[in-house]
Structure formats: structure tokens, C-alpha cells
């Protein structure tokens, strides 16, 4: 039976969220409608993430839960990076899986659904150059802050990471496709565009780089804010740094993963930077945009990491005074060089280091948030807050800001910050800025 309703569940990074939105649009264009609950859907797409341990096991147990009490099941599509890594093996491991579709083959989902309804169990993990974007319908719906993928894949081969294997080589979407999509999103109500890529700052089209693209998107009516993530220190060029000082709509926030503060570990990770070259980029960035908030990714417990190496990580955290950060325990990923390195770090040491790192980052995050109390800022309203009458907005520095207001998602408000915790700010309204 041809499915009439679908549910897409996306896990992991923002790029998966974006892919999930595009798959929904694709299925919508076939006349299918989104179901609120998984239990009501004729087709369930699990859009998976492979970055951390037991990702595949988790995906199979999620698939197992799709069997319903009466013994029936929806049509099940395994998508995302676990699908890419497992391929046809997924069908052998779970008889519930009808479709296996990798991140570069989503555009074929409707035809794969049709094949599956005829009893086939199609698998597509090919990586054709970017053709999937051409198959997607125009954007007709947007969030106040909307994701737009501009670059995919990675050629960096950090020794711990599966992305180069699951997402393939670095490719950039063409300039005109991106600008058109940004205009469609603006017409559909987006006020902020978040440009996405595994190495977004490696984006280029005929010698035009990300800074050029940002300047172009800043000219689109309705778009008031621009962000981009995730960047690699090796692709952080002077033009992009200069754009932070020159383009008002480019928000004062940079997520630039460092992973470790120890040069010895950075080398073993095959990162192309040292602690000093990373800090030099941030110094230039602060000179261009003094109020920039900095964020990073960290891995603790990489093979061979000593207490001294870990102290170097704490030191860089103190030096940078991060406004936020994502921290991970090292997870050996099958097929990556680090998984077979000697001197794997015991779990209890990793956990202890993670806790100490998080404490240190929280101290800086709280100080950063508290420094905002009493200041005036504009926030972009995204959605209702937890409390009645409360809405949740974002500061230019990506902090969550709670305000009591009858404003709607997409409104930009002038607020005064009255309180801060390590996770969020509270504000009172000064006036509503022109929509
Ligand atoms: N391309 C981006 C970069 O280089 O920073 C981010 C890609 S990755 C999806 C996001 C983060 O996951 C990485 O920055 C890293 O901190 C973390 N990560 C990747 N592989 C990991 C692993 N095997 N164990 C723990 N953390 C990992
Ligand atoms: Fe993974 Fe490194 Fe590529 Fe980032 S740069 S996606 S961490 S291999």
C-alpha cells in the first residue's frame, strides 16, 4: 500500500536536521502528509548519526521499537550516516528495514518508497556529485532561523572521525543555487540564515569564498541575521575574518573547534593547526570584531592523552574564555586510524577529564552570560518558552533569551537583560523593532 503519512526522526548534527526538512518537502511534494506521532505514520524515516559509539546498535534498537503492538509495522527507511556505513548489511541485521538510503541519495527517496511498496528492499548509498539538491522542490516553509546546507563532506581525515567516510569528499553547492534558496527562505519568512557544512568555511565556487557568499546573502531583503557552522581552523581565511568586522548582519559568534590544547595530541589527531596557530586566528578575529563570542568542540581521552596534555586543553579554555562549547569523550570509530592506536584511555579517566573540562567551560559561560546583565540587545523570537506568556529568542551571541511577550516567532525585539544563568538569559522588552 502506498504510504499516505510519514514521520522523519533526525538525530545528530544540524546538517541532518536540514536533510530531514528537505526529505519532508520531497515527500510532501508527492502528496504525503507529515504525521504528528511515529505510531500514526505509514512511513518512518530514521535519519541517523554515526559520530559516536554504538550508533549502529542504537539505530537498530530504534528500528525494533517501530513494530506495533498488533504486530504490524510502518514502512521503515534507514537514512543518514549509519545507513551509509551499514549499506545492505542493514537489511540483513533487521528484517524491519525496507529502505536504506545514504545522505547523498535522499533525492531518490520517493522512488525507493514506490519500489518498497512493490515488495523490494532498495539500498542506495551512492555519492553522486551533489545532484540531490537539484531534485528538491522550492522552499515554501521556513523557520525564523533557517538552516541552509552549502557544503558537504570532508577531506581533512582527522584520525578519530568517520565523516570523510560517511559523507564523502568535500563538495560545495553552486553560488546561484544557494542564493536562490536563501531568497526562497526569506520569502517564506526566515529572518536568519545559518549556512551549514561539515567544513563550511571551505565553501568555494570559482574562487569565490564563504565571505563573498555571506556578503551576497546580506543583501537579501528580509534576512536580518547570518551565521555559519562548522568551520575548520585550516580554512579560516583573512577575507572571512574581515567580513566579521564589516557585515553587520553577520552575527558576532564563531564556532571553531580546536579538539585539544596539546600540540602532540593535535598532531596525532591529524589536525592541521597547533594551539598557537589556532589562538592567532582568534586574536585576528577579536581584532576584527571585538565583541565576538567564541565556541569550540573538544575531545577528551584521545589515545595517548596524558594529564599534561589535558592540562594544556584546560589552559586553552582559560585563554580563549569560551562563551560555549561542545565536549566529547573520545569514541573509537571502526575504520578510523585512531581506533587502533595504542594507549586507549580508560573510561573512568575520560569521564573525570570530561567533568573537569565541563566545569571549566561552565565557569566561562556563566561569566560571559553575566557580563550581559544590564545591557540592551536585539533578540530574534524563535518559539514559545516553557512558561505561560513566555517566548524564547536568541541574542546575537546565540544565547537563549526568555521574555514575557505576545510577540510571534520571527519578530525581532529590543530587550534589556535582567538575569543570567549558565544556560540562558532573561530579558524585559524595551520596544518592538520594526518587522
Ligand atoms: N567538521 C567539524 C570539525 O572539524 O570541527 C565537525 C564535525 S564532527 C561531526 C563534530 C564534532 O564531533 C567534532 O568537532 C569532534 O569534536 C566530535 N567528534 C568527531 N569524531 C569523534 C569521535 N570519534 N569521538 C568523539 N568525538 C568526536
Ligand atoms: Fe571530522 Fe576532522 Fe572532517 Fe571535522 S575536519 S568532519 S572532525 S575529519
Separation of CA 59 and ligand 2 centre (Å): 22
The per-residue pLDDT for 184 is 97
Separation of CA 159 and ligand 2 centre (Å): 9
Q: Given the CA of residue 167, which atom of ligand 2 is nearest to it?
A: 6
Per DSSP, the three-state class of 382 is strand
Is residue 72 within 8 Å of 38, Cβ to Cβ? no
Mean pLDDT to the nearest integer, 41-66? 88
The per-residue pLDDT for 1 is 74
Mean pLDDT to the nearest integer, 349-362? 98
DSSP for residue 344: P
Whether ligand 2 lies within 6 angstroms of the CB of 163 is answered as yes
Does residue 172 surpass a pLDDT of 90?
Answer: yes
What is the share, in percent, of the chain residues with pLDDT greater than 90? 83
The per-residue pLDDT for 167 is 83
- Rounded to whole angstroms, the Cα distance separating 9 from 41 reads 12
Whether ligand 2 lies within 6 angstroms of the CB of 51 is answered as no
The per-residue pLDDT for 166 is 86
The per-residue pLDDT for 434 is 52
Task: Please state the pTM of the whole predicted model.
Answer: 0.93
Mean pLDDT to the nearest integer, 54-64? 85
What is the share, in percent, of the chain residues with pLDDT greater than 70? 98
The per-residue pLDDT for 142 is 95
- Rounded to whole angstroms, the Cα distance separating 127 from 105 reads 7
Does residue 435 surpass a pLDDT of 60?
Answer: no
Does residue 202 surpass a pLDDT of 70?
Answer: yes
Is residue 41 within 8 Å of 35, Cβ to Cβ? yes
- Rounded to whole angstroms, the Cα distance separating 314 from 360 reads 7
Whether ligand 2 lies within 6 angstroms of the CB of 369 is answered as no
The CA–CA distances, whole Å, from 342 to 238, 271, 304 equal: 38, 19, 7
Q: DSSP letter string over 166-191?
A: HT-S-EE--HHHHHHHHHHHHHTT-S
Please choose, from the candidates 88, 166, 177, the residue with its C-alpha nearest in 3D space to the C-alpha of residue 131: 177
Separation of CA 204 and ligand 2 centre (Å): 18
- Among all bound ligands, the one having the nearest atom to the CA of 15 is 1
- Among all bound ligands, the one having the nearest atom to the CA of 155 is 2
Whether ligand 2 lies within 6 angstroms of the CB of 271 is answered as no
Whether ligand 2 lies within 6 angstroms of the CB of 161 is answered as yes
The per-residue pLDDT for 194 is 98
- Among all bound ligands, the one having the nearest atom to the CA of 14 is 1
Give the torsion sign (CA, 248, 250, 252, 256): negative
Average pLDDT over the chain, rounded to whole?
94
Please choose, from the candidates 360, 401, 356, 353, the residue with its C-alpha nearest in 3D space to the C-alpha of residue 381: 401
Does residue 89 surpass a pLDDT of 70?
Answer: yes
Mean pLDDT to the nearest integer, 259-284? 98
Q: Given the CA of residue 12, which atom of ligand 1 is nearest to it?
A: 9
Amino acid at each position: 500500500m502506498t504510504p499516505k503519512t510519514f514521520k522523519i526522526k533526525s538525530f545528530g548534527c544540524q546538517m541532518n536536521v536540514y536533510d530531514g526538512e528537505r526529505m519532508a518537502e520531497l515527500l510532501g511534494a508527492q502528496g504525503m502528509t507529515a504525521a504528528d506521532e511515529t505510531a500514526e505514520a505509514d512511513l518512518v524515516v530514521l535519519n541517523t548519526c554515526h559520530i559516536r559509539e554504538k550508533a549502529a546498535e542504537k539505530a537498530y534498537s530504534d528500528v525494533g521499537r517501530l513494530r506495533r503492538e498488533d504486530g504490524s509495522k510502518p514502512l521503515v527507511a534507514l537514512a543518514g550516516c549509519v545507513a551509509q556505513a551499514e549499506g545492505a548489511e542493514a537489511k540483513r541485521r533487521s528484517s524491519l528495514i525496507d529502505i536504506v538510503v545514504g545522505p547523498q541519495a535522499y533525492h531518490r527517496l520517493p522512488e525507493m518508497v514506490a519500489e518498497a511498496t512493490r515488495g523490494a528492499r532498495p539500498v542506495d548509498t551512492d555519492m553522486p556529485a551533489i545532484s540531490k539538491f537539484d531534485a528538491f522542490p522550492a522552499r515554501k516553509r521556513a523557520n525564523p532561523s533557517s538552516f541552509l546546507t552549502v557544503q558537504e563532506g570532508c577531506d581533512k581525515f582527522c584520525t578519530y572521525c568517520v565523516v570523510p567516510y560517511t559523507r564523502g569528499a568535500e563538495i560545495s553547492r553552486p553560488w546561484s543555487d544557494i542564493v536562490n534558496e536563501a531568497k526562497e527562505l526569506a520569502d517564506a519568512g526566515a529572518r536568519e540564515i545559518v549556512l551549514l557544512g561539515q567544513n563550511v568555511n571551505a565553501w568555494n565556487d570559482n574562487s569565490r569564498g564563504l565571505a563573498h557568499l555571506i556578503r551576497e546573502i546580506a543583501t537579501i531583503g528580509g534576512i536580518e541575521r547570518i551565521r555559519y557552522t562548522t568551520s575548520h581552523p585550516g580554512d579560516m581565511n583573512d577575507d572571512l575574518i574581515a567580513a566579521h568586522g564589516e557585515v553587520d548582519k553577520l552575527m558576532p559568534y564563531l564556532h571553531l573547534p580546536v579538539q585539544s590544547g596539546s600540540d602532540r595530541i593535535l598532531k596525532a589527531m591529524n589536525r592541521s593547526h597547533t594551539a598557537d596557530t589556532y589562538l592567532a586566528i582568534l586574536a585576528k578575529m577579536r581584532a576584527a570584531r571585538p565583541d565576538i563570542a567564541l565556541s569550540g568542540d573538544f575531545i577528551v581521552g584521545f589515545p595517548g592523552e596524558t594529564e599534561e596534555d589535558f592540562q594544556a586543553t584546560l589552559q586553552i579554555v582559560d585563554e580563549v574564555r569560551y562563551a560555549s562549547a561542545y565536549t566529547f569523550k573520545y569514541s573509537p570509530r571502526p575504520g578510523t586510524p585512531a581506533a587502533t592506536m595504542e594507549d586507549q584511555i580508560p573510561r573512568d579517566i575520560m569521564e573525570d577529564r570530561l567533568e573537569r573540562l565541563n566545569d571549566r567551560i561552565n565557569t566561562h559561560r556563566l561569566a560571559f552570560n553575566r557580563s550581559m546583565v544590564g545591557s540592551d540587545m536585539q533578540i530574534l523570537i524563535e518559539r514559545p518558552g516553557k512558561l505561560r506568556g513566555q517566548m524564547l529568542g536568541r541574542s546575537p551571541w546565540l544565547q537563549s533569551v526568555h521574555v514575557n511577550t505576545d510577540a510571534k516567532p520571527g519578530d525581532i525585539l529590543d530587550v534589556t537583560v535582567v538575569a543570567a544563568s549558565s544556560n540562558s538569559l532573561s530579558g524585559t522588552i524595551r520596544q518592538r523593532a520594526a518587522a
